[in-house]
Chains A and B, each alone.
Chain A
């Protein structure tokens, strides 16, 4: 495949949109508070910190304390957004997320940046390909994985407006801004209709999925593209309907193929309408240092990989 057409589009990181959304929310609602663990300039909570220093708490490099403190703020009526890198927020503080936030069904919004392999040069220690899997098993959490900056902004507003625990998955890299579309929590978006295969993607892989569908159409394969921004609760109806219509499914995510979107879709389909399925994502391996694009290519997370998977499942029908 040649240079993706979308590369020419405006590019913005979802974390940038997060910072903007916090600033707007902070103006609207004085109960919005923000916590960070010494990464505010990276997570973009620094934007909020500058505007509302009295409502911003930097807890230093202590992620367990970050989530616990956020839980306490929520228990006392505030709407805390807690941020750090996904690996540390979901990983190191998983048990606080589970036992404090989830079990207490507290109104904590865990908005974690630097998810996935596109963290890039920092390497495997900071790349997080496991967060969807480990957050998805905690009851009460809503999990949102926005595809681009405008969607991230809408997701942050939606999370602020709905009581209960949220995990919002954000990225470091600037990614193409796709067209304006309606965002409704729990409702998958069909971005392109098709009849031979359904590509269900989340996060930055949605854009890759659209490019794959475009390439497939030139080879006579009609691919539907579904953006699953809300991974939990997953839009079961949309997943099953797309499988019924096309008879073959490919999932695409910047995450391990184990337990993430691919796992969630496989669960829905195997219980409701089993069809040939292929999961595009990070295989059961750790990443490494490199440029974001280089990593996506080396680890098989491109439009080309999605298109190949699509042709494979179509053959298996």
Chain B
């Protein structure tokens, strides 16, 4: 369904707030991955707007499933789950701390997390497994997985891509956060990924490229994916690593380095000024 301007403004506001929350969570933990968290904020906010979930009953059988395959963006997942009411927002401060339910990478002990992730390349296979179960049960729920682009270096991603296409898993959507930067540097310099949409198409997928910071495009593509039958859909979301924080944008240096102290102050001021348009 088309999203009206009022809704878009609301989502942009939520994205801005989520960015701030996530940066503060990572700073509070004094460890984490700001770059790849900031790049997937709009994708995650859009997804959690769409997912059919019941925060009071995390194991509701008919829920949509979400797999955070790029598990290092866990803070964004936790912020979205808390925003939905899966657990108190207060708990977000415990990220990466001893005894917390909010581990450095997702664990099933967190309400709303169905499968553990964090080791790259695993998520799409698990998403496929859930989707096969859904097909067997003739269920209406759908499965979404968020992958990093650097993650697509992993061979298992392509094993899973072949599986999803072979089994015609049109209840699966793989979203790739194509921020062009991995831990050691630009993806095209480390090991050229090339045109990911074409790669997925050649594996038998429906593939759509979107601006991964444009809610209209993301929501539209998610609608299109739900209506597309017979093939799984890949959304290649073109994004900017470190999006919203000028000095971190496009930089590999902030892949796994928290933004703290004066830099955090600066980042939060910048985000405050981020427009809702």
A72-B162 contact in complex given A65-B125, A100-B126, C-beta closer than 8 Å: no
A68-B133 contact in complex given A103-B107, A105-B108, C-beta closer than 8 Å: no
Check B160 against A65 for contact (C-beta < 8 Å). Answer: yes
Check A99 against B125 for contact (C-beta < 8 Å). Answer: no
Check A75 against B115 for contact (C-beta < 8 Å). Answer: yes
Set of chain A residues within 8 Å of B124, measured between Cβ atoms: 68
Set of chain B residues within 8 Å of A55, measured between Cβ atoms: 136
Check A60 against B162 for contact (C-beta < 8 Å). Answer: yes
A74 CB-CB contact with B under 8 Å: yes
Docked Cα-Cα span, A55 to B132, in Å, equals: 9
A62-B163 contact in complex given A33-B136, A76-B130, A104-B108, C-beta closer than 8 Å: yes
A62-B126 contact in complex given A73-B132, A104-B115, C-beta closer than 8 Å: no
- Give the nearest-CB partner of B71 in chain A: A99
A46 CB-CB contact with B under 8 Å: no
Set of chain A residues within 8 Å of B118, measured between Cβ atoms: 99
Check A68 against B129 for contact (C-beta < 8 Å). Answer: yes
Number of A-B contacts (CB under 8 A): 103
Q: Which one of A78, A100, A105 contacts B133 once the chains associate, using CB atoms below 8 Å?
A: A78
Chain A binding site: helix, strand, loop or mixed by DSSP? helix
Check A103 against B116 for contact (C-beta < 8 Å). Answer: yes
Set of chain A residues within 8 Å of B163, measured between Cβ atoms: 59-60, 62, 65, 69
Docked Cα-Cα span, A106 to B134, in Å, equals: 17
Check B125 against A68 for contact (C-beta < 8 Å). Answer: yes
Docked Cα-Cα span, A100 to B117, in Å, equals: 7
Contacting residues of chain B (119-133) with chain A, CB-CB under 8 angstroms? 119, 121-122, 124-133
B177 CB-CB contact with A under 8 Å: no
Check A74 against B129 for contact (C-beta < 8 Å). Answer: yes
B159 CB-CB contact with A under 8 Å: yes
B65 CB-CB contact with A under 8 Å: yes
Contacting residues of chain A (45-59) with chain B, CB-CB under 8 angstroms? 54-55, 57, 59
Closest Cβ–Cβ distance, residue A228 to chain B (whole Å): 30
Interface centre among A62, A68, A95, A99 (most CB of B within 10 A): A68
Docked Cα-Cα span, A72 to B65, in Å, equals: 10
Docked Cα-Cα span, A102 to B130, in Å, equals: 17
Check B114 against A100 for contact (C-beta < 8 Å). Answer: no
Docked Cα-Cα span, A72 to B107, in Å, equals: 14
B21 CB-CB contact with A under 8 Å: no
Contacting residues of chain A (92-114) with chain B, CB-CB under 8 angstroms? 95-96, 99-100, 103-106
Check A62 against B159 for contact (C-beta < 8 Å). Answer: yes
A76-B155 contact in complex given A99-B118, A104-B115, C-beta closer than 8 Å: no
Check A68 against B126 for contact (C-beta < 8 Å). Answer: yes
Check B65 against A76 for contact (C-beta < 8 Å). Answer: yes
B229 CB-CB contact with A under 8 Å: no
A70 CB-CB contact with B under 8 Å: yes
Docked Cα-Cα span, A72 to B134, in Å, equals: 10
A139 CB-CB contact with B under 8 Å: no
Q: Which 5 A-B pairs have the closest CB atoms?
A: A72-B129, A68-B125, A76-B133, A65-B159, A62-B159
